[in-house]
C-alpha cells in the first residue's frame, strides 16, 4: 500500500472532491522539503497535523501520559504558495499529479475561506 499524504479540509465544501493518491508526494517529500526553503516557501511536511484525540486512538496509550499538540489548520493561500512554487521545479516532476491535486483542492479551499492540513496514511 505505502505511505501517502492527503488533504483534510477544516470543513467540507460542496462539490469539491478531496481525493488524491498522495503516494508520490510522500515518496518525494524529503526532496521537496529540502527545496522549499531555498525557494522561500514552507516545506510540505510542515503542513502535517493530526487531531490529538485521533492520534491517541492510533497510539492506544503506547506513550503513556504524553500531551499531544493541538490540531493545526493552515491557510489555503499559504499551501498554494508552496504547491505552486514547487510545481515550477523539475525536482517536483515525480509528484506532479499529486501536486496538481493539491493545487485543485487548495484553490477551492482558498475561494471558500477553508483551512486545511495534511494527514499521512500509513
For the chain, domain boundaries: 4-60+69-121
pLDDT tens, residue by residue, 27-86:
999 999 999 999 999 999 999 998 887 777 766 655 556 677 899 999 999 999 999 999
DSSP string spanning the chain? ---EEEEEESS--TT-------HHHHHTHHHHHHHHHHTTS--GGGGB---HHHHHHHHTTTT-SPPPPPP--B-HHHHHHHHHHHHTSGGGGGGHHHHHHHHHHHHHHHHHT--EEEEEE-
- The verdict on pTM exceeding 0.75 is yes
The domain defined by 4-60+69-121 folds into Hypothetical protein yfbM fold (3.40.1760)
Amino acid at each position: 500500500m505505502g505511505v501517502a499524504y492527503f488533504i483534510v479540509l477544516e470543513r467540507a465544501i460542496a462539490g469539491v472532491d478531496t481525493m488524491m493518491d498522495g503516494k508520490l508526494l510522500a515518496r518525494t517529500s524529503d526532496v521537496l522539503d529540502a527545496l522549499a526553503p531555498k525557494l522561500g516557501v514552507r516545506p510540505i511536511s510542515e503542513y502535517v497535523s493530526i487531531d490529538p484525540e485521533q492520534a491517541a486512538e492510533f497510539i492506544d496509550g503506547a506513550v503513556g501520559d504524553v500531551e499531544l499538540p493541538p490540531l493545526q489548520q493552515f491557510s489555503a493561500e499559504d499551501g498554494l504558495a508552496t504547491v505552486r512554487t514547487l510545481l515550477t521545479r523539475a525536482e517536483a516532476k515525480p509528484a506532479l499529479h499529486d501536486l496538481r491535486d493539491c493545487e485543485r483542492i487548495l484553490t477551492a479551499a482558498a475561494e471558500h475561506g477553508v483551512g486545511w492540513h495534511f494527514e499521512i496514511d500509513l
